[in-house]
Structure 1
């Protein structure tokens, strides 16, 4: 799990005076994940670690005068449904998280539709306005 979402640094850093900051960073991430698990009454750390990673990567750092995300990628993180592949008409109809969850649970509307296999290409054609 940590190899996919977060790389915790173990061992001694190249410069000995940085050891404390490495240990502090590891402890901080562990504390954030523990708090998230407790607040959400869950043991699903695979979801929590993604949220902690997002929080760490989008937090402003005075030393670099930016966030790690924007420093690495040159732009701010994109949040919200408008950055998903949902059509705007669908987004406009959603009122609650339950509406969104129900949308994901709906079977295909056309009986010939089937779930895509991982190897199938996805072709998106513009819809006429």
Structure 2
């Protein structure tokens, strides 16, 4: 599975700059803004891919897929809750925000809203249907 689907292996920071032609933008304000938007988009697409694979696991790999999501559900939700509370994408290391909670770097407001809505309306329900125990939605920090 890709690192996007496995919360124990965090997203590689700044993957945007690994795309052909974008490496020269590294360090520029424009490049950093585009990189952050790219990482947010990729994380949301990864969440959608997770739900798709929970609903329709690859043929002959059903047990593997279900086992992966059963064992990863709490970690995925912990990452989602950190992001919906403002942590920038790829800032989690072993379940904690890199640089501490006081970091000035934040994700976009639209990303926070999108992650929160996705967790509340779809992801949590899919994990419960899968049989993950001990799940309760975390509320957004004020």
Band of TM-score, shorter chain = under 0.3
TM-score (norm 1): 0.25
TM-score (norm 2): 0.23
Structure number with higher helix proportion: 2
Between structure 1 and structure 2, the one with the greater Rg is 1
